[in-house]
Structure 1
């Protein structure tokens, strides 16, 4: 059974993954060259 908090949690995961795609443009080489971007992506993964 799925609860309201599950929906909130899953929605947050999707939001974070969308942000990562926005940051990187799905191009890993951009991520590897930019420390600030790496930090932002790691933070989203932790969240």
Structure 2
């Protein structure tokens, strides 16, 4: 997961394997439930991560 900050382009991040790229932190927060982080806590608690 990446947030665009000006260092790399969306394309570069996606080509390097970013699971998701967000324009800014607001976009990440708005889509948090559908992000790769969604449900990560339950996988860790269950020992699946």
Task: Give the TM-score normalised by structure 2.
Answer: 0.26
Instruction: Name the structure where strand makes up a greater proportion of residues.
Output: 2
